[in-house]
Structure formats: structure tokens, C-alpha cells
């Protein structure tokens, strides 16, 4: 049985409710077993309950555990890159208490049996909360829709072909219609595959100089604009994953202004890096979508600041050494991101683009609300899923020290501010930083 725990002397922030209490000896948060029992500035005015263990947060931040709605955990099928346990430990080290796993496993999550396997493994690991997306189509790459009702009833959070684009317009329109019966969201990787075929980085002067085939920004906006027309036609719920261009930000803003049921996310590389990170053929900066131009990066930052972009996902895509340490054109796409999600999101605050509660909103309740998950908030009676972190502590991103099995980060050596000190799931401390 998890003990009662009194978290004192913390700045308690809950972006969902607007709560932002200053640190004090008499205030904080009290958890009892799996749940939050009390929150407030005076809950310990009569002292710490005798039965409670005290955690002195020493003026640092206590917030809801982070929610990541887009990550590859690679199990089943590619456990040499990541598995449920290593991915869960990596998430915990980054302050992430809930992950929604992409369905691009082997076999893909297009059957109830695979979904049940993920749920069983997560219960065995018993670290973070792991949910899963199901594919939209059989095999995640066909024109046949999955049994959405059965998968939703079995626990699928929503539907996406993950890192593959749903190219067939008729299939996507049918999916948008059918998903409405289950209050489902269709998540899309918006990229026109013929335009992107064979490309490995952003089209432009740098790709020409490096002699690398490019992927034009138009590949994203062409598919996104088509999808938005289908949303308008069907009235379905649609979520655009990891948008990366200025044109996409404008298109999403226009769609929202027109009343379409549209949301989107981006990932840290697209607001923290541009195409120059490719440098001299750095394969760890080979991503899908590719790192874009500086004006696109600035547009992503502006889209986060004005709320056009709803949330931030890690886009965690582990790749082993053999997949990345190859000539650039042959290397796999993707980067790990669970352990750096908070640190890189805090850059938006340190650089003056977002205040701290708004930055945290992008990685707590907003992603949870998009998918209808009962997490990402601090509420009395709610789950004690918490992160304690110091937003000012300087650090250097050192992939060799990552908990993840894979170390493919484009942020190697980057100086950041922010350090996770404690991660708590259902009242259990699952990560505690060394002093």
C-alpha cells in the first residue's frame, strides 16, 4: 500500500485549473495511496499528518506528470531499439507519467490481441501509464479499415497509421465518418508521399550543397490541405501530427477559425532546431518530417505562443547504432525524445515565448484532453501522477547517459535549463534524481 506523502515547500502549478501556489511550509500537496487528497496553501497549517512521509521540494516546481501522445515504444517487434520497460524508464526520467504508444509495431496494433499484449506488458512493468493508438487501416498501410468499434472498446485511445500517411482520400473520409460513432480522433502524418519519396532532408540550398535529395515543405501542406477539406466534408475529428512548416500553422489556424474540429501537435526539434543541425551529414538530425528552414521554426514557436498548435509530443523514435551510423541517405529517420521533452519545452519559457504554466499546458492537460485521457491535472480525488522539477538547474544533454536503449538525439551536447527531480505515478515514486 502506497503511503501518504506530504509535498511541501513547492510551487504547485496546475495549468488546467490555473492553480499556481507559491512555495510555503504550510502549503503543497498531500497524496494518499494512488490519489491526491488535498492541495492548497494552508493544508499543512496544523502540521504534517503523523502518518505522512514528508517530501521537501525546496522551492522547486510540482506539476502534473507529463503526457506524451506520440511515441514509439517498439514492443513487440523491435525490442533491440526500445521495449516497454526501457521506454517507461526513459519516460519517467523525463517526468513523463503517461505515454500513448504508436501502433507501428510488428505486428502492428490493428487487432485486439496486440492491444491486449501492450496492456498486459504495461501492467507487468508497472511504471508509467501506457496507452496505445490503433491503426486506421489493416497493417497500417492498406485501404481496408480496422474494426474501430472493437478496438476502441478494447482500449485503443484513437486511430492513426503512425509514421505512415493515409494517402487514399476515400479511406480517410470513411475513417473520419466512422470514428465519430466512437468519439474517435483520426491522427495523421501529413506528407504527400510522392513529393517526399527518396528525400532525406529539407529541400533548399543546404541540401543542394550537401548533395542530398530534398523533401519540400509543400509535401506537408499539400496533404494537410487535402485532409482539412475531408474534415470539412465529413465533420470528423482530425489531429495533425508533428507539423513543421509555417504554411501548416496558417492552415490549422484558418481551419480552427472556420469551426473545423481540428487539433495538432509539434515536437521539440521543430521549435528548437532548423535544417542547419544536419551540419556535415549528422544522421541523428535526420527526422521525418525533416528539420525545416529558420522561418518555419519561428512560425512553429509563434503557433505555440498563440495557441494554434495545441500541444507538444516527444515524437520518440528510437534507432539503434546500426540504423543511424550509416551514410546519410541510408540512415533511418527519427530521434529519441522522452528524456528531453521537459527540458526542451522549458526553452520556450526561458526564451520568453511562453510563461511556465502555458509551457506546461502543452505537455500535460492539453494532449490529454485531445484524446480524452483522465490525466494531466492536479485534482483532489484524481490520480497522484506528479513531476517535481527545478526549471533553472543547468544541464547538458548527454545521450550516452540516457535510460533509453537508443541514444539517437540531435540535441547531443546542448546546454539546457531544467532538471527532473522526482516522477510519481499513482502515488509511487518511480524516478528520483541523484542529489
Task: Give the CATH number, domain containing residue 284.
Answer: 3.20.20.140
Question: What domain range is 295 assigned to?
Answer: 64-371
26 burial level (CB within 10 Å; 0-12, 13-18, 19+)? middle
Q: Classify residue 294: in a domain, yes or no.
A: yes
CA proximity to 375, closest of 98, 25, 188, 168: 98
Q: Classify residue 59: in a domain, yes or no.
A: no
Query: In Å, how far from its chain's centre is CA 268?
Result: 9
**Catalytic positions:** 315
For the record, the C-alpha cell of 320 comes out as 539503434
Q: Classify residue 405: in a domain, yes or no.
A: no
Distance, in Å, from the CA atom of 322 to the CA atom of 422, rounded to the nearest integer, reads: 33
Q: Classify residue 253: in a domain, yes or no.
A: yes
Q: Classify residue 52: in a domain, yes or no.
A: no
373 burial level (CB within 10 Å; 0-12, 13-18, 19+)? middle
CA proximity to 385, closest of 432, 425, 430: 425
Q: Classify residue 117: in a domain, yes or no.
A: yes
Q: Classify residue 18: in a domain, yes or no.
A: no
> Which element (helix H / strand E) includes 13?
strand 11-14
Q: Using alpha carbons, list the distances in angstroms from residue 66 to 146, 248, 314, 362.
A: 30, 25, 11, 9
Angle at CA of residue 243, ends 94 and 64, nearest 5°: 30
CA proximity to 415, closest of 393, 388, 400, 384: 393
Q: Do you know the residue count of the chain?
A: 435
Q: Using alpha carbons, list the distances in angstroms from residue 161 to 140, 164, 178, 239.
A: 5, 5, 16, 12
Low-confidence ranges of the chain (pLDDT < 50): none
Question: What SS3 class is residue 192?
Answer: coil
Structural domain count, the chain: 1
Q: What confidence tens digit (pLDDT) does each residue in 319-361 have?
A: 999 999 999 999 999 999 999 999 999 999 999 999 999 999 9
Q: Classify residue 171: in a domain, yes or no.
A: yes
Amino acid at each position: 500500500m502506497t503511503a501518504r506523502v506530504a509535498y511541501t515547500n513547492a510551487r504547485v502549478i496546475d495549468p488546467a485549473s490555473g492553480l499556481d501556489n507559491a512555495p510555503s511550509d504550510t502549503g503543497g500537496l498531500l497524496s494518499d495511496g494512488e490519489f491526491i487528497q488535498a492541495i492548497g496553501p494552508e493544508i499543512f497549517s496544523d502540521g504534517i499528518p503523523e502518518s505522512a512521509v514528508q517530501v521537501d521540494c525546496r522551492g522547486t516546481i510540482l506539476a502534473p506528470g507529463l503526457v506524451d501522445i506520440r511515441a514509439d515504444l517498439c514492443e513487440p517487434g523491435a525490442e533491440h531499439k526500445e521495449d516497454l520497460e526501457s521506454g517507461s524508464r526513459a519516460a519517467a526520467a523525463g517526468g513523463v507519467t503517461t505515454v500513448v504508444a504508436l501502433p507501428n509495431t510488428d505486428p502492428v496494433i490493428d487487432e485486439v490481441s496486440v492491444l491486449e499484449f501492450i496492456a498486459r506488458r504495461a501492467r507487468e512493468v508497472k511504471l508509467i501509464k501506457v496507452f496505445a493508438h490503433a491503426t486506421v487501416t489493416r497493417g497500417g498501410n492498406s485501404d481496408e479499415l480496422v474494426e474501430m468499434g472493437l478496438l476502441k472498446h478494447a482500449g485503443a485511445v484513437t486511430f492513426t497509421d503512425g509514421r505512415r500517411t493515409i494517402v487514399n482520400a476515400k479511406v480517410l473520409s470513411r475513417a473520419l465518418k466512422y470514428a465519430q460513432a466512437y468519439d474517435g480522433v483520426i491522427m495523421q502524418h501529413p506528407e504527400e508521399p510522392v513529393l517526399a519519396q527518396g528525400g532525406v532532408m529539407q529541400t533548399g540550398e543546404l541540401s543542394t550543397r550537401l548533395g542530398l535529395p530534398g523533401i519540400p515543405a509543400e509535401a506537408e501542406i499539400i496533404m494537410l490541405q487535402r485532409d482539412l477539406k475531408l474534415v470539412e466534408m465529413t465533420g470528423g475529428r482530425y489531429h495533425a501530427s508533428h507539423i513543421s512548416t509555417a504554411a501548416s500553422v496558417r492552415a490549422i489556424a484558418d481551419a480552427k477559425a472556420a469551426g473545423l474540429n481540428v487539433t495538432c501537435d509539434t515536437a521539440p526539434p521543430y521549435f528548437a532546431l532548423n535544417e542547419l543541425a544536419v551540419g556535415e551529414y549528422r544522421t541523428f538530425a535526420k527526422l521525418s518530417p525533416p528539420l525545416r528552414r529558420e522561418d518555419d521554426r519561428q512560425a512553429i514557436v509563434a503557433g505555440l505562443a498563440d495557441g494554434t498548435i495545441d500541444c507538444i509530443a516527444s515524437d520518440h523514435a528510437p534507432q539503434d547504432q546500426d540504423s543511424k551510423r550509416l551514410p546519410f541517405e541510408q540512415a533511418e529517420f527519427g530521434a529519441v525524445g522522452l528524456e528531453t521533452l521537459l527540458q526542451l519545452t522549458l526553452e520556450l519559457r526561458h526564451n520568453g515565448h511562453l510563461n511556465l504554466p502555458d509551457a506546461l499546458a502543452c505537455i500535460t492537460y492539453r494532449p490529454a484532453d485531445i484524446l480524452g485521457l483522465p490525466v494531466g491535472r492536479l485534482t483532489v480525488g484524481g490520480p497522484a501522477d506528479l513531476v517535481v522539477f527545478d526549471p533553472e538547474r543547468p544541464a547538458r544533454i548527454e545521450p550516452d547517459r540516457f535510460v533509453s536503449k537508443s541514444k539517437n538525439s540531435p540535441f547531443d551536447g546542448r546546454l539546457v535549463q531544467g532538471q527532473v527531480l522526482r516522477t510519481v505515478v499513482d502515488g509511487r515514486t518511480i524516478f528520483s534524481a541523484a542529489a
